[in-house]
Amino acid sequence: MSSLVVFDALMFSNLLVLLSLSLTLTYMTLKIPNFAHGDYATVGAYIVQTLNVVAGLNYYVSLPLSFVTGGLTALLSYILVFYPLSKRGADITSLMIASFALSTAISSVLCIYADYMTLLTGGFFRTFSFNDFKVDFFGWKTFLLLPFTTGLVATLLLLLYLLLNYTRLGIAMRATVENPDLAETLGIDVNKTRAVAWFLAGGLAGLAGGLLPFRLLTSPALGSFILIRIFAASVLGGLNSLAGAVLGGYIVGFSEILGIYLLSQPPIYLSTAYRPAIPFIMLIVTLLVAPQGISGVLKLKGGSRR
Amino acid sequence: MIFDLTRFLLDLLAFYAIYSLLTLSLNIEYGYAGIPNFGKAMFFAGGAFAVGAFTTRLTAVILGLSLERFKYRNILIAYQASQIFAQNPFLALSMLFFSIIVGIIFSSILGYLASYPAIKLREDYLGLTLLSAGELLRVIARNYDPLVGGSLGVAVPDFFAPLSGFTKDLTVTGFFLATALLTFIIVDRIVNSPYGRLLKAMRENELAVESYGRNIAKIRMTTLVLGSAVAGLAGVLYASYTRYVYADVFTPFETFVIWAMVIIGGKGNNAGAFIGTLVYVLIERLIMVLKHEVKIPFDVNYLGYVVLSIVLILLLFYRPKGLLPEKPVQTPNIKRIRELKKERNDKTRDGLGFQQ
């Protein structure tokens, strides 16, 4: 197997890990499988593309903004839709439908935005992808995305670990996830803590979205295109453990890229167009065989080592 | 302005019939039985794929047309078949009924398969499984050419070819509406029977129903098979109306639209489902026709989707029961039940007396 395929799988998995991690974070706080999660990533991708077309900014430079916009979109969806709905006692199916509606609304707004921006700037907005830079990394020529995403995921995981274990906010977050009522009696503002968690999660998704056009052709439908992959990774991880989400992201990402590479080789010669089928099958099999996921099987706990 | 009001209405009503079948189908599963089927598009596709995969081929075989290079020649085959259908109404009609039966069977099998996760998993995991399964079927159908022509799609012969012009449009729409109405009557009878009450009881509290000796797994299975059969029927009608089957039509968005119609109209109320469908189809078709009349720099459809999503979320906030809220199951008159009970008791007593 060529090392290029492995590197490709690593880059893709790094991005998938950011997405599955953030989806798991939102699931842990409200227990809603949020169908709009992929669309936070699309929003991030569109911010980066807009700044590149309008202001000529480098893709990597505008990433902080993709974090902020993704986070704000998630925060708004929490404040305007999920929090009030769950407070009114909506059942989980209604919340899922609401998230489905939210996803449709975001991607439709992005379609309108894309059409309008194309007209205004003449740049590519309906479909686009980013061209990466070749870098010389200690004498080893590679795409910048590979060392960048690997470093980014490592740094973010470390930061998240420190946040959840050594800061008041992080401990409040874990308490809110473990037992919201008890956390409230201890003076933690559960609602605010959840809002922060949603902002963080949306930010991570937006960040991943800002980098996804390097690997995938991006359009307003990017969110629904990657949604089931994100769910496959998160569900494989167990949906209630951040460590599980990271593991799930790498397993699903590597299986998809390496799997379709191997299947497209002799003696099978499967068309690479079947690529999305791999995460779909992984999701279905996980749910049917071990719905508790890796963390449930290994008894991992959310966020902490205990 | 090219706008023919009669044709617009006939087209609208044809789509209304197809969509109300889908809404009815989801209403059985979600509204009555509480099974969140987020893969509705898969069962809709099942009917259409069955037509695309079997009917065009079978027609070709019956008519002695060559099946060689079917992927590229299916449009020609469908065209030739339509020409022959025009001369032979009996053949056209029997092929239509063959399609309906095959579509219903194929979708029912999918529904039967879906009942396996539906028994095992709780609602959010089940939703994900069915959503994913629907997408899997779509990816396979788009890439595996022998099924429905892969990315090119498959043409379907015109079952209504013996007719032409206005008579044809009227007959097609009339047939669709009659099918939808007949299905509605059958389904409404079923859900207003003790079985319907059982579905609602299962939705509210599975444990209680189980403790009364009912088999939850079996009820879920029959519900999914029934719902899928209705969705498959809608798929067949869709394929015979558009005369073309293409995998990428059946996206999760299609599922979302069906859910929106059920929730707008009112879950657990078949009349509500029909109202919700009318609201959606009317808006959608109006946008489709009127968007050529207004000049704005983007596709009006997207604005329509944004409005639909916002309306749906607001409805979940302020009117979660929909426009027409759920009503109690129409059980037989209580006096009649008492009479029946008395008759049965008398019989038993007589029986006992006879034994003594």
Give per-residue pLDDT as tens, A279-299: 999 999 999 999 889 888 887
Least confident of A9-13, B221-225, B238-242, B294-298: B294-298
SS3 of chain A: helix, strand, coil, percent, to 5 = 75, 5, 25
Looking at the DSSP bridge assignments, the partners of residue A128 are: A218
With an 8 Å Cβ cutoff, is A108 touching chain B?
yes
The span from the CA of B264 to the CA of A200, in Å, is 33
DSSP code, position A278:
H
pLDDT of residue B258: 95
Of A115, A276, A291, the CB nearest to B299: A115
With an 8 Å Cβ cutoff, is A90 touching chain B?
yes
Over range A105-118, report the average pLDDT. Answer: 94
Of B117, B128, B312, the CB nearest to A235: B128
Share of chain A above pLDDT 70, in %: 97
With an 8 Å Cβ cutoff, is A186 touching chain B?
no
pLDDT of residue A304: 40
**pLDDT category of residue A300 using cuts at 50, 70 and 90:** low
Of B125, B127, B320, the CB nearest to A291: B125
The span from the CA of A36 to the CA of B172, in Å, is 39
Q: In sequence order, what E strands does chain A have?
A: 134-137, 140-143
Cβ neighbours of residue B291 closer than 8 Å, sequence gap 6 or more: B299, B300, B301
The span from the CA of A296 to the CA of A301, in Å, is 9
Contact of B223 with B352, CB cutoff 8 Å: no
pLDDT of residue B3: 63
Residue of A39, A80, A104 to mutate for B, most B C-beta atoms under 10 A: A104
Closest CA to A31 of B129, B259, B124, B39: B124
Interface list for A 218-247 with B (CB within 8 A): 224, 228, 231-232, 235
Q: Which domains does chain B have, with CATH numbers?
A: 2-351 (1.10.3470)
Contact of A37 with A251, CB cutoff 8 Å: no
Task: Note whether B124 contacts A224, CB cutoff 8 Å.
Answer: no
The span from the CA of A155 to the CA of B279, in Å, is 51
Residue of B129, B132, B321 to mutate for A, most A C-beta atoms under 10 A: B132
| Minimum Cα–Cα distance from A27: chain B residue | B124
Contacts of A292 in chain B (CB under 8 A): none
The residue written with tokens 């070819």 in the block is B161
Determine the distance in angstroms separating the CA of A292 from the nearest CA of chain B, rounded to an integer. 10
Contact of B236 with B51, CB cutoff 8 Å: yes
Using an 8 Å CB-CB cutoff, list residues of chain B that contact chain A.
30, 34, 36, 38, 116-117, 120-121, 123-125, 127-129, 131-133, 135-136, 139-140, 142-143, 251-253, 256, 259-260, 263, 297-299, 302-303, 305-306, 308-310, 312-313, 316-317, 320
Closest CA to A271 of A256, A258, A261, A257: A261
Contact of B197 with B100, CB cutoff 8 Å: no
**pLDDT category of residue A210 using cuts at 50, 70 and 90:** very high
Determine the distance in angstroms separating the CA of B256 from the nearest CA of chain A, rounded to an integer. 7
DSSP code, position A167:
S
Least confident of A42-46, B181-185, B342-346: B342-346
- Between strands B154-155 and A140-143, the pairing is unpaired
**pLDDT category of residue B326 using cuts at 50, 70 and 90:** confident
**What separation in angstroms does the CA of A187 have from each of A36, A176, A182, B219, B349?**
31, 11, 9, 47, 69
B78 pLDDT higher than 50:
yes
A112 pLDDT higher than 90:
yes
With an 8 Å Cβ cutoff, is A84 touching chain B?
yes
Contacts of A276 in chain B (CB under 8 A): 135, 139
Question: How many residues belong to chain A?
Answer: 306
Question: How many residues belong to chain B?
Answer: 356
Over range B45-51, report the average pLDDT. Answer: 95
B1 pLDDT higher than 50:
no
Residue of B135, B151, B205, B251 to mutate for A, most A C-beta atoms under 10 A: B135
Over range B196-223, report the average pLDDT. Answer: 91
Task: Note whether A231 contacts B128, CB cutoff 8 Å.
Answer: yes
E strand or H helix that includes residue B154: strand B154-155
A135 φ/ψ sector (left φ>0, alpha ψ -120 to 50, else beta): beta
A133 pLDDT higher than 90:
no
Contacts of B303 in chain A (CB under 8 A): 108, 112
Query: Is A61 strand, coil or helix?
Result: coil
pLDDT of residue B322: 87
Closest CA to A20 of A268, A296, A288, A205: A205
The residue written with tokens 């012009």 in the block is B165
Average pLDDT over chain A, rounded to an integer: 91
Contact of A214 with A224, CB cutoff 8 Å: no
Contact of B239 with B47, CB cutoff 8 Å: yes
Task: Note whether A93 contacts B303, CB cutoff 8 Å.
Answer: no
B350 pLDDT higher than 60:
no
Residue of A81, A93, A219 to mutate for B, most B C-beta atoms under 10 A: A93
pLDDT of residue B337: 73
Closest CA to B136 of B224, B41, B201, B228: B41
Query: Is B244 strand, coil or helix?
Result: strand
Domain ranges of chain A: 3-221
Query: Is B193 strand, coil or helix?
Result: coil
With an 8 Å Cβ cutoff, is A208 touching chain B?
no
B353 pLDDT higher than 80:
no
Task: Note whether A93 contacts B132, CB cutoff 8 Å.
Answer: no
Contacts of B125 in chain A (CB under 8 A): 235, 287, 291
Interface list for A 6-45 with B (CB within 8 A): 31-33
Amino acid sitting at position B186: I
**What separation in angstroms does the CA of A240 have from each of A93, A125, A224, A304?**
19, 36, 22, 12
Interface list for A 123-162 with B (CB within 8 A): none
